[in-house]
Amino acid sequence: MNSSPRSSLTGKVKRRPWWVKSLTGWSYVIYEMLFQRMQARHLKNPLPLPPLDDVTCIVTGSTSGIGLETARQLAFSGAHVVMAVRNQSAAFDLIKKWQTERHGTTLLSIEVMELNLLSLSSVVKFAKALNSRSKPLQVLINNAGMFSMGEPQKFSKDGYETHLQVNFLAPALLSILLLPSLVKGSPSRIINVNSIMRYMGFVDTDDMNFTLGKEKFNSTKAYSSSKLAQIMFYSVLQKRLPLEAGISVLCVSPGTVHTNVTRDLPKLVQGVYNLIPVFLFSAQEGSRSALYAATDPEIPEYCEELKADDWPTCAYISHYCRPTRAAKEAHNTRAANEVWEKTLDMTGLPLDAVEKLLQGEEAMCKYTDS
């Protein structure tokens, strides 16, 4: 893999008006939708995976869509899969279905653990339970996400806008808290399912909750901004992790995938959306970039090269399983560090949480007992 040419912004960047970013962002979405099949024509579906015996993978949001396909294919390749989900009964039903598909062959190694990303205390509880096993974790796939298209602004019980918490804050907290298990599983990987809509995102660390009136809320702004913040946060995390920790950090784009995000929109809009499935990836096709990032043997070396070159962002894998650039705004290292510090504050972690956890110390989180 060859890293892209160096590009870094270290100062404040004047933000373009939302309507300009929106037009630009939707142009990227339309281009991806029209040409993604041609770009990914070299990929097989499903993506062939190597044997994954003795590999433990956590997949969040694994009862539907991309997460379901990701968990299924990892398990079918021999991995021990932890389905981190809210709806545990749905997960157990899927395991029975998948085992039936195996026609009585070797039992799949899958377990179900409760994780509600709308509750930061649930994240802390999950991480504490996982780490208490003192077993290695090789792959964490932060897949779960939400895009309540056209819906009014909502907040979690922790007081954060729901797109912000589910798509970004909760997975960020989970990733930090699971560092002890990921170090035990070294070489290990943290993989974050991102989106082409990162191109229309912006991050204002003074108003990430869209409550100060600086930007009028809409779900597209919230979703795209949470995906941009994700790249910025994990870019800083990759830099703060020493090479000897053996943890690779990546974001991946699944492509434009046929999902149920339009379920709350008018029937006419849903009808138009359902007329274009020929251009859209299926969930199985959309899972390929995450599966590639989780299993390709060249990924650790590629991530190390980016770090050695002081590349401003973490590795980013396209929907056609090739390295690509993140959004330009994600290259602003000063803004990324502001996002890092703000995120640790919002998730109740100390600024030296990573260093403490890597040294085997405890990093107290204010949501531990909530």
Options 223, 292, 302, 316, the catalytic residue: 223
pTM of the model: 0.94
For the chain, percent of residues with pLDDT exceeding 70: 91
Tell me the pLDDT of the chain averaged across its residues. 92
Query: For the stretch 305-315, what's the b/e string if a residue is b when 16 or more beta carbons lie within 10 angstroms of its beta carbon?
Result: bbbeeebbbbb
Residue 258 has what pLDDT? 82
pLDDT at 94 over 50: yes
Composition of the chain by helix, strand, coil, percent to 5 = 45, 10, 45
pLDDT at 250 over 70: yes
Please give the structure tokens belonging to residue 202. 């912006």
- 126: CB partners within 8 A, 6+ apart: 84, 113, 114, 115, 174
pLDDT at 235 over 80: yes
pLDDT at 369 over 80: no
Q: Which amino acid is at 311?
A: W
Quick: pLDDT tens for 133-174.
Answer: 999 999 999 999 999 888 899 999 999 999 999 999 999 999
Identify whether 223 is a catalytic site residue: yes
Quick: pLDDT tens for 13-35.
Answer: 467 888 899 999 999 999 999 99
Segment 73-93 shows an average pLDDT of 98
For the chain, percent of residues with pLDDT exceeding 90: 83
Quick: pLDDT tens for 196-234.
Answer: 999 999 999 999 999 998 899 999 999 999 999 999 999
Lookup result for tokens 């749905």? 90
